[in-house]
Structure 1
Amino acid sequence: MAYYEDTAFLKACSSVFSSRNINETAWYGSTENNNYIFNVLSRQYIVDKKMGLRDFFDCVYCILLNHRRSEYVYKNTMIKKKIYGTYSPKTTIWIPEVKIAGARADAIFVNKNKKAVVYEIKTELDSLSRLRDQVQAYYRCFSNVVLVVDSKHKSKVADYVPESVGINVLTKNKTVSVVRESKDFFGLLDSASMFDLLKKKEYESLACSLELDILSFSKFERCKRIRDLFSKESPIKMHTALLSVLSDRVENNVKPSIVDFIPDSLIAAFYEYKIRKCDWLSLIDRFDKPIII
């Protein structure tokens, strides 16, 4: 059986880009999962014994891109397009896996010009059954929502979401095509839900800037009491404040130069996972050495 027809093999390829597999590769030089894939590809005469880790990651990513476009592939494509294409890593941040009003967004893209976009990804393996509820949840905190979908969903998603939702398609040519631009929608904004996205220092600082009296609150009740105050604020006012806070995160976001030394196939891992700098450096040191079997 050809490797691209073997479901178990393709699942193993997806696992190459998991946080655990990348960490273990940094520590030990390889993993059982990597070795399994390497041996399959060797038997197919696709790789040779001298292949280094850098080329191994790129080779496996290419397989996913052509035969099993996982969520990781979508995120990697979007990060390269948005942060290293349209914008710049110096002026933008990518916040992965964000809980918003009971749903979990795949990512929020923020730039320092106080613009934020919620991205929801639907691969060819995903169902659209929860999409309506997810979009409604995202609109409780943000005015701009974009779907990034496989072409098989292209004709269906428009029936599931409001016209304000943007629709992008990951094409067969491995590019992102804009089917419909997103439009700002403010009708579902909820102040309490927006408060839940803030860190402690952020909501305390914001409370002061809004001249809310919080000094009398004890540290045990402070979060709940401040949330109650915020819930009474105008949603539009809170939305403006939220975007300002997130824009400040961009200003404070100093990315190490590590990203300059990793292959394109690992860019999403850099932005998505909490991998220590020392582990990245260990992995980088192994990139051009033959994979350890």
Structure 2
Amino acid sequence: MNKGGHRLTTNNAIINKLFTQNMFKDLLNHRTPPALTQVAQQYIPSPEALSYGEILSQMYQFMSQTYRNEYFYQNTLLMKLLLGKHSIHTTTALTQVPIGNSIADFVLINGKAVVYEIKTELDTFNRLRGQLEDYYKAFDHVCVVTSESGFSKLKSELADTPVGIYVLNKQNRLSNKIKKDPIRDASSVNHRSLFSLLRKKEYESILFAYYGELPSATPVFYYDASYARFAEIPLDEAYVRVLNELKKRNRVEKDDISEIPDSLKSLAYFANISTKERLLLCEYLSQQFRG
């Protein structure tokens, strides 16, 4: 597929622009994403003979063997865990969740919540300690997902911690042989971090369910008044209620996500794709590439 011997090294920035929400929006609106055109011309022999969907699938396969970036890891987690191990009707995945000074790559919520911090072969571990500390302020199970070489570096560093380590092996499977399961640790979970996860309608739902009323405050003081009432809820109960609210996000129908090509499943899920959008997308992906 790679028509030039060194193209991957010089054009990985283009590949990183390929599987993004901006690209996905273009596809939904039947616009050819500029990144797709660039990649097709540089990596695909005779792209005009293929459909848009075939080009994306070929590029995704290429990435699986040569350039496993953060999107590839995230998409694999979604397919292996949410769609493979759990049920889309009882489990919710979130991405890019701000927690303290960090942003959680992937959070899976069913009976419990697990944060998955992705560290690909392309990443360093320089900020990992601070990220893990932030995540434990809002969630009680945390994992690092990394490569086999990453596991070798992390296993001693995280040996005496509750942090789990999962490995995406060279066969692009989450290894059952090379891993460290996470241990529950709620010692750092606090009301402020939990409240910061919530949107207005979500914390209002919690407060109304618990107190039977919402705070009486002017708009400028409403957020602080709401937090003050939230902070009075026992922490264990507040945690469960927050997870229940977060689980209501990303309600995607199974048929809508199952019809999407594997290479785009994560983008479709986190865009909350509708049935109409799925039909439009599949129609466009079947069209012949026009450059």
If the TM-score is normalised by the length of the shorter chain, which range does it land in? Answer: 0.7 to 0.9
| Equivalent pair of 1:100/1:137 in contact (CA under 8 Å) | yes
Which segment drifts farther, 178-187 or 219-228?
219-228
Matched to 2:42, the amino acid is: V
Q: CA deviation at 1:84?
A: 1.3
Q: CA deviation at 1:169?
A: 0.8
Matched to 1:158, the amino acid is: K
Corresponding position of 2:72: 73
Cα distance in 1 for partners of 2:40, 2:217 equals 59
Query: Which one of 242, 264, 272 corresponds to residue 262 of structure 2?
Result: 264
Q: 1:27 to 1:243 in 2, by over 3 A?
A: closer
Cα distance in 2 for partners of 1:32, 1:88 equals 35
Corresponding position of 2:287: 289
Structure 1: which 5+ residue stretches go unaligned?
none
Matched to 1:90, the amino acid is: H
Matched to 1:60, the amino acid is: M
Q: CA deviation at 1:48?
A: 5.4
Corresponding position of 2:169: 171
| Equivalent pair of 1:195/1:230 in contact (CA under 8 Å) | yes
Corresponding position of 2:229: 229
Corresponding position of 2:241: 241
Q: 1:147 to 1:3 in 2, by over 3 A?
A: farther
Q: 1:271 to 1:132 in 2, by over 3 A?
A: same
Q: 1:101 to 1:36 in 2, by over 3 A?
A: closer
**Helix, strand or coil: the match of 2:49?**
coil
Matched to 1:265, the amino acid is: S
Matched to 1:271, the amino acid is: Y
Higher relative contact order (CA 8 A, sep 6+): 1
Matched to 2:115, the amino acid is: V
Cα distance in 1 for partners of 2:237, 2:38 equals 54
**Helix, strand or coil: the match of 2:211?**
coil
Q: 1:140 to 1:48 in 2, by over 3 A?
A: closer
Q: CA deviation at 1:96?
A: 0.9
| Equivalent pair of 2:252/2:269 in contact (CA under 8 Å) | no
TM-score normalised by L of structure 2: 0.87
Query: Which one of 94, 117, 121 corresponds to residue 118 of structure 2?
Result: 121
Structure 2: which 5+ residue stretches go unaligned?
none
| Equivalent pair of 1:4/1:63 in contact (CA under 8 Å) | no
**Helix, strand or coil: the match of 2:286?**
coil
Q: 1:278 to 1:284 in 2, by over 3 A?
A: same
Corresponding position of 2:41: 39
Matched to 2:147, the amino acid is: D
Q: CA deviation at 1:183?
A: 1.0
**Helix, strand or coil: the match of 2:125?**
coil
Cα distance in 1 for partners of 2:100, 2:212 equals 24
**Helix, strand or coil: the match of 1:221?**
helix
Matched to 2:287, the amino acid is: K
> 2:151 matched to 1:154?
yes
Corresponding position of 1:58: 57
Matched to 2:181, the amino acid is: E
Matched to 2:125, the amino acid is: L
Query: Which one of 5, 17, 20 corresponds to residue 18 of structure 1?
Result: 20
**Helix, strand or coil: the match of 1:104?**
strand
Q: 1:212 to 1:3 in 2, by over 3 A?
A: farther
Q: CA deviation at 1:230?
A: 2.8
Query: Which one of 128, 131, 140 corresponds to residue 131 of structure 1?
Result: 128
Matched to 1:72, the amino acid is: Y
**Helix, strand or coil: the match of 1:49?**
helix
Matched to 1:137, the amino acid is: D
Q: 1:217 to 1:153 in 2, by over 3 A?
A: same
Which segment drifts farther, 234-243 or 264-273?
234-243
> 2:140 matched to 1:143?
yes
Cα distance in 2 for partners of 1:60, 1:175 equals 19
